[in-house]
């Protein structure tokens, strides 16, 4: 009996055809640029969170900051940092006694830097000699949708080096790209979550590589099944229900 992985004529089925090497879309240094469809896909990225770190150039007194700021909370038994919020840009800051601050919740690098300056301004008003120095983006998270369902089983079979997929534990496939170093969560619906990037350029580069790969694993809709019509069902004669019956005299 032929193997279910073999197609007609003894060749490998499309699911297994890439085992000899990664798909063409994953090859680096290709001669052609990204297609118009790929560029549209890359442009659809929506940033959902930016995490950045700042050096405050001081050792802040967390208790006095928590008591002096309305928008701050501090419970050292639960978490060793002051948690402060501002509404514009909407964000949160974690302020540590070491002089480090983490800013999270913004949706762009510009907003993250603006929020960091606002937090240091609040601390200065509370007699804390804080400055916003060494601002660095540590992680950017974004989402997008490729617009079609994806055969995740085929993708993980062909690229086990980059993929891990355990649907009984998590419904998404984890795709680890090494250049740029980014992690992508790919769902069968076509929705993709990008995490681990430090620049928007890295996100764009990752999706430019990923898009042609996913095109090879596009799940095609099943063809509608046709119900066979019984012979004589549509005939006019024969006395069947579908035909014209004889008149009663």
Q: What are the residues facing 104 on neighbouring strands?
A: 92
8 Å CB contact between 38 and 212: yes
Q: What are phi and psi of 65, to 5 degrees?
A: -65, -45
Which pLDDT score, from 0 to 100, does residue 68 have?
Answer: 93
Which pLDDT score, from 0 to 100, does residue 33 have?
Answer: 79
Domains and CATH numbers, the chain: 52-137 (3.30.310.10), 146-220 (3.30.310.10)
Per-residue confidence of the chain (249 residues) as pLDDT tens digits?
444 333 444 443 333 333 334 444 444 434 467 888 888 888 899 999 999 999 999 999 999 999 999 899 999 999 999 999 999 999 999 999 999 999 999 999 999 999 999 999 999 999 999 999 999 999 999 999 999 999 999 999 999 999 999 999 999 999 999 999 999 999 999 999 999 999 999 999 999 999 999 999 998 877 666 656 555 555 544 444 444 444 554
Dmax over CA atoms of the chain, in Å, equals: 110
Alpha-carbon dihedral sign for residues 41, 42, 43, 47: positive
Which residues neighbour 189 within 8 Å (Cβ) at sequence distance 6 or greater? 145, 149
Alpha-carbon dihedral sign for residues 65, 66, 72, 75: positive
Alpha-carbon span 193 to 184, nearest angstrom: 6
Which pLDDT score, from 0 to 100, does residue 135 have?
Answer: 97
Which pLDDT score, from 0 to 100, does residue 62 have?
Answer: 95
Which pLDDT score, from 0 to 100, does residue 52 have?
Answer: 98
């Amino acid at each position: 009996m032929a193997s279910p992985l073999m197609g007609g004529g003894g060749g490998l089925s499309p699911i297994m055809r890439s085992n000899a090497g990664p798909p063409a879309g994953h090859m680096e240094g290709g001669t052609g640029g990204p297609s118009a469809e790929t560029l549209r896909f890359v442009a659809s990225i929506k940033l959902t969170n930016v995490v950045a770190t700042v050096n405050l150039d001081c050792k802040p007194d967390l208790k006095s900051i928590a008591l002096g700021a309305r928008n701050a909370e501090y419970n050292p038994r639960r978490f060793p940092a002051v948690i402060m919020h501002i509404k514009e840009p909407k964000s949160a800051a974690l302020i540590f006694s070491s002089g480090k601050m983490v800013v999270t919740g913004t949706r762009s690098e510009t907003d993250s830097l603006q929020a960091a300056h606002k937090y240091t301004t609040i601390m200065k008003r509370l007699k804390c000699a804080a400055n916003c120095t060494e601002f660095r983006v540590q992680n950017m998270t974004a989402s997008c949708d490729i617009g079609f369902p994806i055969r995740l089983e085929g993708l993980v079979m062909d690229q086990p080096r980059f993929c891990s997929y355990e649907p009984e534990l998590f419904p998404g496939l984890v795709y680890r790209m090494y250049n740029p170093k980014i992690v992508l969560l790919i769902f069968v619906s076509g929705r993709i979550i990008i995490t681990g990037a430090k620049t928007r350029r890295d996100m764009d580069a990752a999706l430019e590589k990923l898009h042609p790969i996913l095109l090879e694993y596009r799940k095609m809709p099943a063809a509608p099944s046709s119900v066979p019509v019984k012979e004589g069902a549509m005939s006019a004669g024969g006395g069947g229900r579908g035909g014209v019956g004889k008149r009663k005299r």
